[in-house]
Structure 1
Amino acid sequence: MAPSELEGYSGVLAVMEDWARVAPVLRSAALDDAPVVDSYVLDLPLRYPRKILCSGPNYTDHLAEMGESFGAEWRPYFFLKPPTTSLVMDGEAVLIEGDRDDRVDWEGELAVVIGIGGRNISPDAALGHAGGYTVVNDISLRAPHRRDDVPAPFVWDWLASKGADTSLPLASGVVPSWLVGDPQDLLVQTRVNGELMQSASTSLMVCTVAELISAASELVTLEPGDIIATGTPSGVGAGRGRFLAAGDEVEVSVEGVGRVRNQVRVRQ
């Protein structure tokens, strides 16, 4: 049974909003003798986050497979996903359009969930704002990303590429930060129909999780429950000339954090 201090919370987001009080309770909770739950229905752990920020390229090998490289003065940048319609839980379908080839791609990533909000957070203090970690698959539509029918400064259509419904499969749990340890020493893997496509350590990130939290907080005020996806390593479909089709199954796992598995289906 959960500690009495945790009674009355409606979900993980409510817990995150009170993280400064809840975290010490969770850390001291005796779980070894907790009863086994025999019957349950999983839901998204964060169904209504205020913001979903996704890091742009953050692994050198991924940028290389896309034909680019990092400059000496690289600073992280972010794009947004719709905070409710993009989310899909473990086991649910990723929906694609059946009448067009959007070149639907996978991007397995570690994600950090903000526990303590803030603005202009220093890198040294940033991990103290991390409530926990989870796993996401940043489903990307490569075909509509570049528009040929608009003036050159505006050719990149991030909403069409990254914001589709069901474009962010999210693992069924958020693991508290103290149970994960070093977020720069985790193995990220993606499999499509059982075939290993991505396998890399988070140690290969160009910008660490702490640096991403800090950089994001310079742009927007981070709030409890915000999700920051930390970028994907090499092995995406675009680098292979292979894309997702109806019937495919994609599984993303992060060592010590969890996994999310989804089948691809045509939208009805």
Structure 2
Amino acid sequence: MNRSTASADPSDRPDLAVASTATVATACPGLATIRLNGMPTPAVSADGFVLPLAEAARRGGAAGAVPASSREALAEWDRWTSVILRAAADGVGGPGWLPEAEVEFLPALADPPTVYCAAANYRDHVKEMRSTADAVPTAPMFFLVPPASLAGHREPVVRPDGVQQLDWEVELAVVIGREASSVSAADADAVIAGYTVANDLSVRDFARRSDYPFFPDWFSMKSYTGCMPLGPAIVPADSVPDPMDLYLGLTVNGEKRQASNTRNMIFSIAEQIEYLSRIVTLQPGDVILTGTPAGTGRSWGRYLSPDDVMVAEVEGLGRLETRVATEAGGDGR
């Protein structure tokens, strides 16, 4: 097996030592998307098991049609949140529940209208990039990623042919639950449906172009098919008391690479929503990636190789596993 160029002694990064001792609690129940009988199917995710949402609704006595997707569920999110939490409270792992190890996961939200990604939004990440800019940012900066770039939990991600600098970036992702235009930071919580984990894989080989006067080349660096794992599930916002105080981290082949806390964001989640919603009306199902902390491959000087396994995690939201494959057959060899 070809192991990672990411292998390194974690003691080389004393800045991660304190955060790396953090313990991530079991994920709260959430709404996943799985492939069942060949079809994308929304399902309750809890304690290592999944239960199709239709079955959860039947057991809970929920009347009416069951949404065919996570995005459809957002239209009556309070109702389906109740179904999710009740199913988990009634007991996980019995008849009808499927072990997540036996299930194929799709992106937690497979068809978001838009995926917004915050750039350089963690103080520790900016510090490790050794920015020489004197100006202090007065507003967040974003780039967009096409929904076709999304991948699910445990879905292999192909390292594009010829790429040598495939990098990792754990992020807290926000799922918008209702239309939002010119929302103030004080009111931003009201438009959030939930949260999930993202790994914004970045092709650093294509970060700069010498044939154009403008850079970086965000599209080439961030938009390859499957290079945005998202999941395993959307955890309802009400289950996350303080999203601005959550541990987040990432390992490569079991070795700690990123370890931080969402309180290290430069612009809070609420401030990001305020900024975006003043430019464009946010839609139900929009996803906002809120930035990555220190510890990316670029800072280590080491990148991903075929067969490497990443685990990105955010406190209370779960663990998002991704294996690197190669172009040929997707088997990592």
TM-score when scaled to structure 1? 0.91
User: Contact 2:118–2:289 (CA<8 Å) still a contact in 1?
Assistant: yes
Q: Which of 13, 17, 20 is equivalent to 2:71?
A: 13
**Unpaired runs of at least 5, structure 2:** 1-55, 329-333
Q: Which runs of 5+ in 1 are unaligned?
A: none
Identical positions, percent:
36
Q: 1:96 to 1:174 in 2, by over 3 A?
A: same
Deviations 1:208-254 (A, max 9, x none): 11111111112221111111000000000011111111111111000
Q: Note the 1:14-53 alignment, pairs <5 A.
A: 14-19=72-77, 22=79, 25-26=82-83, 29=86, 31-33=88-90, 36=94, 37-39=96-98, 41=103, 42-53=105-116
Pick from 144, 152, 172 the counterpart of residue 80 of structure 1: 144
For residues 129-179 of structure 1, give each alpha carbon's deviation from its aligned partner in whole angstroms, at most 9, with x where no partner exists: 1100000000011111110011x2x23211001111111011121000010
Q: Distance in 1 between matches of 2:224 and 2:108?
A: 20
Q: CA deviation at 1:122?
A: 0.4
Aligned with 1:171: secondary structure? Answer: strand
Q: Which runs of 4 or more aligned residues in structure 1 lie more than 6 Å from their structure 2 counterparts after TM superposition?
A: none
1:146 partner letter: R
Q: Distance in 2 between matches of 1:46 and 1:24?
A: 15
Asked whether the equivalents of residues 167 and 296 of structure 2 are also in contact (C-alpha less than 8 Å), the reply is yes
Normalised by the size of structure 2, how large is the TM-score? 0.74
Q: What is the correspondence of 1:1-268 to structure 2 with a 5 Å cutoff? A: 1-2=56-57, 3=60, 4-5=62-63, 7-19=65-77, 22=79, 25-26=82-83, 29=86, 31-33=88-90, 36=94, 37-39=96-98, 41=103, 42-68=105-131, 71-83=135-147, 85-101=148-164, 103-150=165-212, 152=213, 154-268=214-328
Check whether the contact 1:118–1:222 (CA below 8 A) recurs between aligned residues.
Answer: yes
Alignment CA distance shift 1:24-1:38 (3 Å) = closer
- The amino acid across from 1:129 in the alignment is V
Aligned residues: 263
Q: Is the 8 A contact 2:163 2:205 kept in 1?
A: no
> Any conservation in 1 of the 2:67–2:73 contact (CA below 8 Å)?
yes
Q: 1:250 to 1:70 in 2, by over 3 A?
A: farther
Aligned Cα root-mean-square deviation (Å): 2.0
Give, in whole Å, the separation in 1 of the partners of 2:308 and 2:82.
Answer: 41
Q: Whose Rg is larger? A: 2
